[in-house]
Amino acid sequence: MFSFLKPKMAKKSISEEEIPKKYKSLGFQSLAGIFLGYMAYYIIRNNFALSTPYLQEELHLSSAQIGFLSSTMLIAYGISKGIMSSLADKASPKKFMAFGLLMAAMVNIMLGFGTAFWVFMILVIILGLFQGMGVGPSYITLAHWIPHKRRGTLSAVWNISHNVGGGIAAPIVGFGFAMFGSNNWQIATYQIPAAVAIIFAMIILLLVKERPKHEGLPPINEYSKEEANYVEKKEQLEESSEDRSFWYIFKNYALKNKNVWYTSFADACNYMVRYGVLSWLPIYLIQVKQFSQGEMSVAFFIFEWAAIPSTLLAGYISDKIFKGYRMPPAVIALVIIFLGIIGYWQSNSLVAVTLFAAIVGCLIYVPMFLVSVQAVEVVPPFAVGASTGLRGFISYIFGASAGTTIFGIMIDTVGWHGGFLLLLSAAILGIIFCSLIDLSMKKQNRLETMSE
C-alpha cells in the first residue's frame, strides 16, 4: 500500500456531548461525498460508449473491434473490483477513492490522443483497473458511518449514484459538442468528462471522512446503541485489525465465509440478467420486435431510469418492513423479473414489450442492491472491502460475461429462445442463492439470541 493512501492517525477522542452532532455532520458529509464520487466514476465510464460511433468512423474499426474494447474494459474492471476493494480495507477510503477517480480521469485525457486500436485497448484496460477503486471505499464508508437500522435506506440513496452518473454522461458530452463541435469529438467525449471528474475527486477529499475512530469517534454500533450483529460479536477484532494483512483478512473473512460466496453467486445471477437484457435490448427490439430507433431509445431509457425509485423503495422496505432482512424483497423482485422476462420475450405489441422491459429494468437493480448491502453485513466492518471485492469479481467475470458473451453464443447457435432460457435459469438460481442467504442470516440471529 502506498503511504499516501493510508489512513491518517486517529484524532483524540472528542467529548461525549459533541459525539451526536459530529456523527450526524460527518456521516452526512461522507454519504454526500461517496454519492458524488461514485457518480463521477460513471461519468468517465459511460462516456466511452458515447465515443464509439466516432471512434469506429475515425479509426475504421469493425463492430467486433468496438465490442472487444468494451468487453476488455469490463473484464479489467471486474478483476480490479476484486483486488482494489480488498486493498481498500487497509487504506483511507477518501484518498483511495479520489486517487482512483483522478487516475481514471487522466486515462480519459490520454484516450483523446489515441490514434490506433492497440493504444485504445491498452488504455481501456488501464481505465478498467482504476475504475475498480470506487466501489470498495464507498461500501466501507457506508459500513462505518451508517447504522444497521438505516443502512438499507441510505445505501439505496448512494446506490442510485451510478444511475445518475450514467444518465448525465450524455448531457456532459453534449455540452462538449456544443462548445467544440463534432470535429473535436475527442475533447467532447473524453476530456470534458475527465475535467468534470477531476473536480469531483477534489470534492471526495473535502467531504468524505476517515473511519469514525480516526475522527475521534466511537464505532457506529456504540454510537447508535445497536447491538452488534452475530458476525461482529463473534469477531471483536476491529481495533486489532490494523495488524492483519490484506491476505489474512481476504482469506479468513471472505474466502472462508459461505455467506460471502452466497452473495457473490446471487449477484452473478443478477448481473447475468441485467447485462443479458441491457446489452442486447437495442438489437433485439430493432431486429426481432421491429421497433424504430426512436421507440428502442425510449425503451432503453425507461429500462435504466426506472431503477431509481425502485431501489430507493427497496432500501426503505428492507429496513422498515423486513426489519433489516435484505433477501425477502430481493426474492420477490426476482420472481417478478422471471415473469417479466417471459413477457418481454413472448409479447409482440410495442406497449407490452416496453412495459415488460420497464418491469425488468425497474426491478433488476433491487436484488443487485440488496445483495450488495447484505455482503456488507455478513463480515466484520474491517473486512467489507474483501467481501465487496470477491462479490464484484465473480459478478463481472462470470455474471456480466455470461449475459453478454454466452447470451450471444446462444443466439448464434440456438436462437433468441436459447438466450432467454439462459436468463430465466439465472433468475431461478438467483432466487435459490438469495433464499440460502436469508436462511443463513436467520440462523445467525437465532444463535445470537441463544447466546444472550
Q: Give pLDDT tens digits for 80-138.
A: 988 898 888 888 999 999 999 999 999 999 999 988 889 999 999 999 999 999 999 99
Q: 92 CB contacts (<8 Å, ≥6 apart)? A: 5, 6, 7, 8, 210
List of domains in the chain:
16-219 (1.20.1250.20), 246-452 (1.20.1250.20)
pLDDT at 103: 97
pLDDT at 169: 83
pLDDT at 237: 46
Cα gap 342→349, rounded to integer Å:
14
91 sits in which H/E element: none
pLDDT at 238: 47
Q: Which residues of the chain have pLDDT under 50?
A: 230, 237-239
Torsion over CA: 20, 25, 30, 32 (sign): positive
pLDDT at 73: 84
pLDDT at 452: 54
Torsion over CA: 382, 103, 255, 433 (sign): positive
Cα gap 120→110, rounded to integer Å:
9
pLDDT at 13: 73
pLDDT at 177: 87
| pLDDT tens profile 391-411 | 988 988 888 878 877 888 888
pLDDT at 119: 92
Record the cell numbers describing residue 340, joined without a space.
417479466
pLDDT at 286: 77
**pTM (two decimals):** 0.76
Provide the 10 A C-beta neighbour count for residue 328. Answer: 16
Q: Say if residues 280 and 405 touch (Cβ distance below 8 Å).
A: no
Q: Say if residues 333 and 367 touch (Cβ distance below 8 Å).
A: yes
